[in-house]
Amino acid sequence: MENKKHIAILGSTGSIGTQALDVIKKNDRLFKVSVLTANNNADLLIQQALEFEPDTVVIANQNLYPKVKEALKDTYIKVFAGEESIEDVVTFSEIDIVLVALVGFSGLKPTISAIKAKKVIALANKETLVVAGELITKLAEENQVPILPVDSEHSAIFQCLQGELLNPVKRILLTASGGAFRGRKKEELLNIKPQDALKNPNWNMGKKVTIDSATLMNKGLEVIEAHWLFGVKPQNITPVVHPQSIIHSMVEFEDGSIKAQMGKADMRIPILYAFSYPERIKMPELAMDIFSIGNLTFEKPDTEVFPCLNLAFNAIEKGGNLPAIMNAANEIAVQKFLEEKIAFLQIPEIIAEAMNSFAFIPKPTLEDYFSTDSEVRNKLNALY
Ligand code: MN3
């Protein structure tokens, strides 16, 4: 009877994590939660653990261990603490799929560990591929582990590519909502506050990715992500602003055909597809009424007002540790903007400055990625 897929959710209290739990709850004859991990939100982790009864939970913040341990003392749930524990628990034999829904660079080490343990990776953490895409894709190939994209655009591309194994891709049309400030002029962005930037018109997402959407860095990170996931050259990846967020991306083939994947702007669709792949599972609330959609429109991104997109193209074209420099600078700049220590328009300036000033390493090792990341963080944290 027991042939449910066992799922480890890294980052279960975040936006993707909670939506993944909703998918599992509504399809509990197919999926079972095996591991839950959280950084600081002990209360929600405890609540999720009591509801979903995983084998194991990890609280990354060690100070919160006693609280979680005490709350789960009458259960069989194993409780661990510390970031290193996440790397261990993803290797447990009962796990089939590891959903990496951690924020930022912190997703890298657990992803490497899960790939080495030959787990199917459902990847919601784009920064892992941005920083170390070459290393991760090579490692996944060596271990014959599939990386199933959970980012909505990449899930769309992945779906468009089904059945097209032998057909070369002419280009990827990567759609973008345009973020909170689409159509604005630079002068209008001078006094932006975090709460203005945190309003994405279509998607309900975490803070980091919502700010990244507003600067268009999210699309830049996704160009790099698509390059590594699908082996398409950056010059053949074209960002398209599609404000309705109904088409989640497109693939253009040599014969002039363009395939698109459409659906509600609901992250549970790519989450469900990654969990059920290659099958499709019924989930009635995800259905979209095609007659309720008005026009679908497409425009070119404004790279003058939003320079982050070009920074990302530069980073991936030069390669080496430059995407890692860009990513670390972006993570710090976004955090400083959220803390109201810098202005919105300083975000791309800080990233560009970091990309020009830190030492370029053409062929980085894994250690180089970590040292680049911490050097950039330390320097920028000291400056701002
Ligand atoms: Mn996306």
State whether residue 156 is helix, strand or coil: helix
Give me the chain's average pLDDT, please.
Answer: 96
The Å distance, Cα 9 to ligand 1 centre, comes to 19
For 290-341, how does the pLDDT look when each residue is reduced to its tens digit (9 = 90+)?
A: 999 999 999 999 999 999 999 999 999 999 999 999 999 999 999 999 999 9
> For position 206, what pLDDT does the model report?
84
Tell me which of 3 and 360 has the higher pLDDT: 360
Distance from residue 81's CA to the centre of ligand 1 (Å)? 30
Q: Are 377 and 332 in contact (CB under 8 A)?
A: yes
Q: What mean pLDDT is predicted for residues 202-227? A: 93
Residue 152 Cα to ligand 1 midpoint, Å, equals: 5
Average pLDDT over residues 160-169: 97
As given in the structure block, the two tokens for residue 12 are 């279960």
State the distance from the centre of ligand 1 to the C-alpha of 53, rounded, in angstroms.
Answer: 30
pLDDT in tens, 172-210: 999 999 999 999 999 999 999 999 999 877 877 889 999
Q: What is the mean pLDDT of residues 367-371?
A: 95
Distance 93 CA to ligand 1 centre (A): 31
* Ligand 1 center from residue 178 Cα (angstroms): 11
- Quote the DSSP letter at residue 299: B
Among the listed residues 154, 156, 176, 161, the one whose alpha carbon sits nearest the alpha carbon of residue 225: 154
Give the per-residue pLDDT at 202.
81
**Dist. CA 264 → ligand 1 center (Å):** 13
What is the pLDDT at residue 327? Answer: 96
Q: Is the pLDDT of residue 90 over 70?
A: yes
Distances (CA, A) of 145 to 16, 89, 122, 139, 251: 22, 18, 11, 8, 24
Whole-prediction pTM value? Answer: 0.95
CA of 77 from ligand 1 middle (Å) equals 33
Q: Please give the distance, rounded to the nearest whole angstrom, from the Cα atom of residue 1 to the centre of ligand 1.
A: 36
- Cα 153 to ligand 1 centroid, rounded to whole Å: 5
Average pLDDT over residues 18-36: 98
Q: Is a pLDDT exceeding 60 seen at residue 1? A: no
Encode pLDDT of 270-299 as tens digits.
999 999 999 999 999 999 999 999 999 999
What mean pLDDT is predicted for residues 4-32?
Answer: 97
pLDDT of residue 204: 76
Looking at residue 2, what is its pLDDT? 63
